[in-house]
């Protein structure tokens, strides 16, 4: 894992690469075969173990996010503390306490009675946590450019995979890689898009993006992820006011009509509702799916100090079953992201 200073330097790629991206817009488009060959020419040395002959998407759709492989360091040996320790950071056994606002967003996941919260301000800087929760190997992910928080079962094909950050993007979304085969995986879909495992899909697990307060209310004995580095200034939002931009970064695809590209939506597979609609209705039922909204939870992508950001609210998505309502996978993302992956689907608003 790189040092704290090294991680800080490599995590601010936007200013360095935007001039290059602007220049590319003036170049004549390459033919598909030429574009794929050009991409491969730049990847071979860094990815000698990736089988680029196998891919489910055109290679030209994948671009650099401005950092190299593992330039954003995943957390592979996560450490946790009990929620009660947050009120008395001086008593923490771990070296780096975390001072979180009560309404800050965390990715909440529970399995077999083991409930854990992963603060988005930490995931903002690492994007991937490889963990074992209640005996189940999982990968907890967050893509800041898409505001997508997704938890995966990392068991696949009879083996347990470990994931890292490739430094690549597709549709502005995080491209992960597994360290066993160095195949590339699309975070938004959980599908391997390049390499030996191309076409394989990871199982997406139900999780919630909610405020620390709501997690504490649901799991008073739950655990919370501790930071890796000791400098509190490292764990701030480097994408200040990103969610109020007119257009996303690292995306030149088609935009949805009649809705702001950066408007938040709630996505469940190929269905989506605007967060604005859900906040107005408070509860939406659609084909056995029940979406609810409640106030609280700061935006992760507005102010540098996430605890000072405006509230966007908490979302819960469940399905009616014989045993009552059960959580199902969902993500709160941006309209442009959903449209990129589901161009024919309607966003209900």
**pLDDT at 209 exceeding the cut of 70:** yes
**Per-residue pLDDT band at 137 (split at 50, 70, 90):** very high
Q: Report pTM.
A: 0.88
As a whole number, mean pLDDT of residues 174-183 equals 98
The whole-number pLDDT of residue 38 equals: 61
Give the residue from 131, 101, 100 showing the smallest Cα distance to 116: 131
Q: How far is CA 167 from the centre of its chain?
A: 14
- Please give the pLDDT value at position 57: 97
Asked if pLDDT for residue 200 goes beyond 50, the answer is yes
Whether the per-residue pLDDT at 66 is higher than 70: the answer is yes
The closest of 303, 304, 309, 274 to 291, measured between CA atoms, is 274
Q: How confident is the model at residue 294 (pLDDT cuts 50, 70, 90)?
A: very high
Burial of 335 (0-12, 13-18, 19+ CB in 10 A): buried
Instruction: Band the pLDDT of 85: cuts 50, 70, 90.
Output: confident
Sign of CA dihedral 322, 188, 164, 71: negative
CA angle at 6 for the pair 309 and 154, rounded to the nearest 5° = 70
pLDDT digits 0-9 by tens, 1-37: 444 444 444 444 444 444 433 333 333 344 556 667 7
Q: Write the pLDDT tens digit of every residue in 227-270.
A: 998 887 899 999 999 999 999 999 999 999 999 999 999 999 99
pLDDT at 86 over 50: yes
Strands ordered across the beta sheet of 148-153: 128-133, 136-143, 148-153, 203-205
Of 255, 257, 291, 254, whose CA–CA distance to 276 is shortest?
291
Q: What is the mean pLDDT of residues 145-165?
A: 98
Chain-centre distance of CA 100, in angstroms?
Answer: 19
* For range 287-296, the mean pLDDT: 96
User: What's the gap between Cα 224 and its chain centre?
Assistant: 18
Please report the pLDDT score of residue 40 as a whole number. 73
* Distance from chain centroid for Cα 111: 20
Instruction: Give me the chain's average pLDDT, please.
Output: 89
How much of the chain is in helix, strand and coil states, percent to nearest 5?
20, 35, 45
Report d(CA 114, CA 223) in Å as an integer: 8
CA–chain centroid gap for 19, Å, is 26
Q: Identify the pLDDT of residue 45.
A: 86
283 has a pLDDT exceeding 70: yes
Section 43-69 average pLDDT: 94
* CB burial readout 266-287, b (16+ within 10 A) else e: bbbeebbbbbebbbeeeebeee
């Amino acid at each position: 894992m790189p040092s704290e200073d090294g991680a800080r330097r490599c995590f601010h790629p936007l200013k360095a690469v935007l001039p290059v991206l602007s220049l590319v817009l003036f170049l004549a488009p390459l033919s598909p075969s030429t574009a794929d060959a050009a991409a491969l020419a730049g990847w071979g040395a860094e990815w000698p173990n990736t089988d680029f002959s196998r891919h489910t998407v055109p290679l030209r759709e994948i671009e650099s996010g401005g950092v190299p492989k593992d330039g954003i360091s995943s957390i592979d040996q996560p450490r946790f503390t009990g929620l009660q320790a947050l009120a008395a950071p001086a008593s923490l056994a771990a070296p780096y306490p975390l001072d979180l606002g009560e309404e800050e967003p965390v990715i909440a996941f529970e399995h077999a009675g083991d409930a854990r919260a992963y603060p988005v301000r930490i995931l903002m800087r690492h994007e991937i946590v490889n963990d074992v929760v209640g005996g189940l190997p999982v990968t907890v992910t967050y893509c800041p450019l898409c505001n997508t928080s997704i938890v995966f079962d990392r068991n696949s094909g009879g083996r347990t995979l470990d994931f890292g950050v490739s430094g690549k993007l597709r549709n502005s979304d995080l491209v992960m890689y597994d360290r066993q085969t160095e195949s590339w995986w699309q975070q938004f879909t959980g599908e391997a898009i390049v390499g030996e495992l191309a076409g394989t899909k990871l199982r997406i697990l139900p999780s919630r993006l909610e405020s620390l307060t709501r997690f504490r209310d649901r799991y008073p004995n739950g655990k919370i992820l501790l930071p890796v580095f000791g400098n509190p200034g490292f764990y701030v939002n480097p994408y200040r006011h990103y969610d109020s931009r007119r257009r996303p970064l690292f995306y030149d695809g088609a935009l949805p009509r009649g809705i702001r590209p950066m408007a938040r939506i709630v996505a469940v597979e190929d269905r989506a509702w605007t967060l604005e609609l859900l906040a107005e209705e408070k509860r939406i039922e659609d084909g056995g799916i029940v979406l609810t909204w409640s106030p609280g939870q700061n935006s992760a992508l507005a102010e540098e100090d996430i605890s000072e950001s405006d509230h966007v609210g908490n979302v819960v998505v469940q399905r009616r079953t014989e045993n009552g309502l059960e959580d199902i996978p969902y993500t709160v993302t941006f309209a442009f992201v959903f449209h990129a992956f589901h161009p024919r689907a309607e966003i209900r608003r």
